[in-house]
Amino acid sequence: MEYFWLDDENLGIDGKKVHYKDALLYGNKELTSFILEGEYDRIGEFGLESAKVEKDGKYGFINEKGEEIVPCVYDHASEFSEGFAKVEKDGKYGLIDKTGKEVVPCVYDWVGSFFIGFARVKKDGKWGLVDETGKEVVKCVYDDVYYFLEGFAAVAKDGKYGFIDKTGKEYFGKAAKEIEKFLDEEKIQQKLDEERE
């Protein structure tokens, strides 16, 4: 495909005159970047149907048609992975979905990627877990927290290690040892492998 600007609003594409907005419908990623060059300070690579864009030091996302799907309001944004992108606003982190909805609000000191339906979050030096709806399913009260496997998440609190179930019930000491026996390492590895496929 050959293209070049004919005037301020029209491109020549393969010998035809095409208005630049119609040209975006061609779906050519390179062409879209070329057309939008003046609208953004920087346009990233297209991946998963969107590209990260920067304007005046703020980040957002556009689709392959050049339409803004997430406005440039974030101080930092990662690329989308598994349907979510990590964003930073005023020094706090959150996660947005492909529509731009802040699924996990920008209130955390750190946010991880989703894994087996949960993301680790840190607030005021303590760890918790959020689900894909943004609900804090494990409150940020732990020194460390791991993902749920077989219904339990390993946690550390006040120098002690134990588990928490999905209802929020904590298991430390003798109860934690019983759960540890139940959570056979081979079983856990098999579950992790299944989730990654």
Q: What does the pLDDT read at residue 141?
A: 96
Q: What does the pLDDT read at residue 25?
A: 44
Q: What does the pLDDT read at residue 30?
A: 57
Q: What does the pLDDT read at residue 82?
A: 82
Q: What does the pLDDT read at residue 42?
A: 78
Tens digit of each residue's pLDDT (9 = 90 or more) over 120-169: 999 999 999 999 999 999 999 999 999 888 888 999 999 999 999 988 89
User: Confidence class of residue 29 from pLDDT cuts 50, 70 and 90?
Assistant: low
Structure tokens at 62: 């556009």
The pLDDT of 14-21, averaged and rounded, is 53
Judged by phi (left if over 0) then psi (alpha if -120 to 50, else beta), residue 168 lies in left
Break the chain into its structural domains and give their ranges. 1-35
The chain-wide mean pLDDT, for the chain, equals 80
Q: Which residue has the higher pLDDT, 34 or 153?
A: 153
Tens digit of each residue's pLDDT (9 = 90 or more) over 39-49: 777 777 777 67
SS (H, E, C) the chain: CCEEECCCCEEEECCEEEEHHHHHCCCCHHHHHHHCCCCCCEECCCECCEEEEEECCEEEEEECCCCEEEEEEECEECCCECCEEEEEECCEEEEEECCCCEEEEEEECEECCCECCEEEEEECCEEEEEECCCCEEEEEEECEEEEEECCEEEEEECCEEEEEECCCCEEECHHHHHHHHHCCHHHHHHHHHHHHC
Residue 182 pLDDT greater than 80, yes or no: no
Residue 59 pLDDT greater than 70, yes or no: yes
What is the Cα–Cα distance from 73 to 59, expressed in whole angstroms?
6
Tens digit of each residue's pLDDT (9 = 90 or more) over 74-117: 999 998 888 899 999 999 999 999 889 999 999 999 999 888 88
Is the pTM higher than 0.85? Answer: no
